[in-house]
């Protein structure tokens, strides 16, 4: 899709739009979707006189405040203005035809008020921002009375421009327009949960799903799944168990790999994004988490799942940067899932790691949702069972619009001396050494240490066992064909390089961009084979060579083409580390990204604590 940069003259024209004398009226009829869902009252007021010698440059479409405004045709959002001048909130939609549509006086009020304080939440539809692709009839904004419409009846000032920017009377086009709004693509769910299953072996897998919910009802059995050899399958959990907080267990007749991708519009602010979790192969009595934050714009949770027939007593130790560690005890009933809001026990504005200890084996994950500098999303982590003296991260980037961090927890009573080696596509590694005090946590800004605009991997070593995670937040502007994407993801490092890595999740369909990032921490190059496994078996096999002490990136969309549901098996002639970052515009409206470190091996059982289908 061709996109043009916003220019200063265009923005000035937009600010002054109600002041400009319109071009002569034309009899042009453009085939459009009527821009106000449900219709509106209007008249041929193009060119009508206005105060101060102005004349009207469009048609005013009167309807109740917060009525949905929809895309007049397929295209993209070229630019927007927020509470500026006489126009108030407005945007320009550029259609595939080349025609340009101006939506002016978009809502700026909270529901039931005329307070001018509605902000983005009550102005724009989720996923709408400059650069966003839109479909004809897609909900894009709310009708309102911003700008010089304040104090009048709510209405949309609607204009149509030729591709060269010349304006003409939209009245005949509105009369001929089709009235239609695209059905809500979310289906009414704020969370969409999936299970993706890879069968990397040579025998058919028969899988029995079981779901545990937090409402006290007995565990529920899902439909039996069959996955042929060297292929994958996707389960939409909302269809099996709607409107529930869910934990899941997959039991297979042969070893498989399973992941849980989720996509969401979280909370009343509609923080959009997605995250993914690699399943666990068994419950744990202890789980360590390095990352955590309860500052403004962050919501952190711990999900605890007890699959046992007796209650679990869970002790949580929160390790807080700067001191003041906190302890909490939670009792989880048998065959139940419980959720802890971390802000409650630790308070606001805490950089916090956690150690979860249970008297019987349980599952634990740490979902977080956030508004980071206006970049909204979520990520999730399942922690580690045992601290380690080494962690490896294949993914990492410090380019414009990416903020990368390293969070390190020291759960021991000894000060840890930690060394980070930053590995790049080319050039020598850069080392950095720092200390982490006992029973606390520290955070590093990777850009400050590795430099700007670097594709960077990390090798983290310590003289005492630690836990390390890598949170990243991003707003990539228009750098991908799928439009602007903002969000964040997190990964706990791999504790050792391996010669094989497995990934169940993967998708190159509309709105998704998938990568593989490979780290070779060895002094010699690594020969690597990538086997792509789809719904019908092997899609393709590719070979890459990774130079010594470097990082390598594979564009999966470019390698196998668009429209593929794909799992991956990576094998190498010497141990490497592999991650799978993905960026997306899910359903065309929820933007974000997620990442996973590969599974080191397949297994007959996969377990997930987090899950929601509400």
Average pLDDT for 453-472: 98
pLDDT at position 475? 94
Mean pLDDT of 90-103: 98
Q: Is the pLDDT of residue 4 over 70?
A: no
Q: Give the least confident one: 99-113, 215-229, 587-601.
A: 215-229
What confidence tens digit (pLDDT) does each residue in 506-556 have?
Answer: 999 999 999 999 999 999 999 999 999 999 999 999 999 999 999 999 999
Give the pLDDT of residue 23. Answer: 46
**Cβ 248 vs Cβ 210: under 8 Å:** yes
Identify the sign of the CA torsion 23, 25, 27, 29.
Answer: positive
* The residue to which tokens 């959990």 are assigned: 237
Mean pLDDT of 117-143: 97
Q: What pLDDT does residue 28 have? A: 83
Of the options 2.70.70.10, 3.20.20.70, 2.60.120.960, 1.10.3720.10, the CATH number for the domain spanning 8-176: 2.70.70.10
Q: Is the pLDDT of residue 301 over 90?
A: yes
Give yes or no for residue 6 having a pLDDT over 70.
no
For the stretch 140-196, pLDDT in tens is: 999 999 999 998 999 999 999 999 999 999 999 999 999 999 999 999 999 999 999
Q: What is the mean pLDDT of the chain?
A: 94
pLDDT band at 52; cut points 50, 70, 90 = confident
Residue 282 DSSP code: S
Token pair for 520: 């070779």
What is the mean pLDDT of the segment spanning 549-577?
Answer: 97
Q: Determine the pLDDT at residue 225.
A: 96
Tell me the percentage of the chain whose pLDDT exceeds 90. 92
pLDDT in tens, 322-361: 999 999 999 999 999 999 999 999 999 999 999 999 999 9
Residue 413 has pLDDT above 70, yes or no: yes
Rounded percentage of the chain residues whose pLDDT exceeds 70: 95
Q: What is the SS3 assignment for 287? A: strand
Count of Cβ atoms closer than 10 Å to residue 429 Cβ:
17
pLDDT of residue 480: 52
For CATH 2.70.70.10, the residue range(s) in the chain are 8-176
Tokens representing 349 are 């504005």
pLDDT band at 14 (very low <50, low <70, confident <90, very high): low
Distance of CA 469 to the CA centre of its chain: 18
Q: Rounded to two decimals, what is the model's pTM? A: 0.94
Tell me what pLDDT residue 93 has: 98
Residues 6+ apart with CB under 8 A from 164: none
> What is the reported pLDDT for 19?
42
Please compute the mean of the pLDDT values over residues 59-64 and round it to a whole number: 98
At 5 the pLDDT is 39
For residue 252, is pLDDT > 90?
A: yes
d(CA 368, CA 458): 23
Over residues 76-92, mean pLDDT: 96
Lowest mean pLDDT among 52-56, 168-172, 321-325, 398-402: 52-56
- Record the tokens describing residue 463, joined without a space: 């003289």
What are the b/e assignments for 316-336, b being 16+ CB within 10 Å? bbbbbbeeeebebebebeebb
What is the per-residue pLDDT for 478?
54
């Amino acid at each position: 899709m061709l996109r043009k940069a916003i220019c200063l003259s265009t923005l000035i024209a937009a600010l002054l739009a109600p002041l400009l004398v319109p071009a002569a009226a034309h009899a042009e009829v453009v085939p459009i979707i009527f821009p106000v869902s449900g219709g509106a009252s209007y008249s041929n007021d193009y060119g009508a006189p206005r105060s101060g010698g102005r004349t009207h440059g469009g048609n005013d479409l009167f309807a109740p405040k917060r009525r949905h405004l929809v895309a007049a045709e397929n295209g993209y959002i070229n630019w927007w203005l927020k509470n500026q001048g006489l126009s108030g909130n407005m945007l320009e939609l550029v259609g595939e035809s080349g025609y340009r549509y101006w939506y002016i006086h978009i809502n700026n009020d909270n529901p039931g008020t005329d307070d001018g304080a509605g902000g983005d939440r009550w102005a724009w539809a989720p996923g709408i921002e400059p650069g966003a692709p839109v479909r004809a009839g897609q909900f894009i904004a709310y009708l309102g009375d911003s700008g010089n419409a304040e104090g009048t009846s709510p209405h949309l000032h609607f204009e149509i421009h030729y591709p060269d920017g010349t304006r003409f009377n939209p009245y005949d086009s509105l009369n001929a327009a089709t009235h239609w709004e695209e059905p809500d693509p979310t289906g009414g769910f704020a969370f969409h949960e999936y299970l993706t299953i890879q069968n990397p072996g040579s025998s058919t897998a028969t899988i029995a799903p079981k779901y545990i919910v937090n409402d006290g009802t007995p565990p529920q059995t899902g439909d039996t799944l069959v996955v042929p050899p060297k292929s994958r399958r996707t389960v939409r959990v909302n269809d099996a168990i709607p409107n529930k907080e869910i934990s899941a267990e997959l039991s297979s007749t042969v070893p498989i790999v399973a992941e849980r991708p989720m996509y969401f519009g979280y909370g009343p602010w509609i923080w959009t994004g997605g995250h993914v979790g690699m399943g666990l192969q068994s419950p744990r009595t202890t789980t360590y988490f390095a990352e955590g934050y309860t500052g403004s714009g962050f919501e952190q949770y711990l999900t605890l799942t007890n699959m046992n027939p007796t209650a679990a007593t869970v002790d949580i130790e929160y390790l807080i940067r700067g001191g003041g560690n906190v302890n909490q005890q939670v009792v989880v009933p048998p065959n139940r899932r419980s959720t802890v809001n971390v802000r409650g026990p630790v308070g606001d504005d805490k950089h916090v790691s956690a150690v979860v200890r249970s008297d019987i084996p349980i599952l634990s994950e740490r979902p977080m949702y956030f508004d980071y500098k206006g970049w909204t999303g979520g990520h999730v982590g399942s922690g580690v069972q045992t601290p380690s003296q080494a962690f490896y991260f294949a993914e990492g980037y410090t380019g414009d619009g990416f903020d990368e961090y390293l969070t390190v927890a020291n759960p021991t009573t000894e000060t840890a001396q930690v060394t980070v080696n930053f590995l790049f596509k080319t050039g020598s590694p850069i080392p950095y050494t720092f200390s982490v005090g006992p029973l606390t946590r520290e955070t590093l800004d990777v850009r400050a240490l590795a430099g700007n605009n670097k594709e960077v991997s990390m090798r983290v070593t310590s003289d005492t066992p630690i836990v390390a995670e890598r949170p990243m937040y991003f707003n990539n502007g228009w750098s991908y064909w799928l439009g602007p994407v903002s969000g964040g993801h997190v990964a706990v490092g791999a504790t050792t390089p391996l010669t094989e890595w497995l990934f169940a999740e993967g998708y190159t369909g509309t709105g998704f961009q998938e990568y593989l990032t490979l780290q070779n921490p060895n002094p010699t190059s690594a020969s690597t084979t990538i086997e792509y496994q789809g719904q019908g078996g092997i899609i393709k096999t590719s070979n890459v060579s990774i130079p010594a002490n470097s990082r390598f990136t594979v564009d999966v969309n470019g390698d196998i083409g668009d429209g593929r549901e794909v799992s991956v098996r990576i094998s190498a002639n010497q141990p490497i580390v592999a991650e799978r970052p993905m960026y997306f515009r899910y359903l065309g409206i929820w933007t974000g990204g997620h990442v996973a470190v590969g599974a080191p091996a397949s297994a007959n059982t996969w377990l997930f604590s987090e899950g929601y289908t509400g």
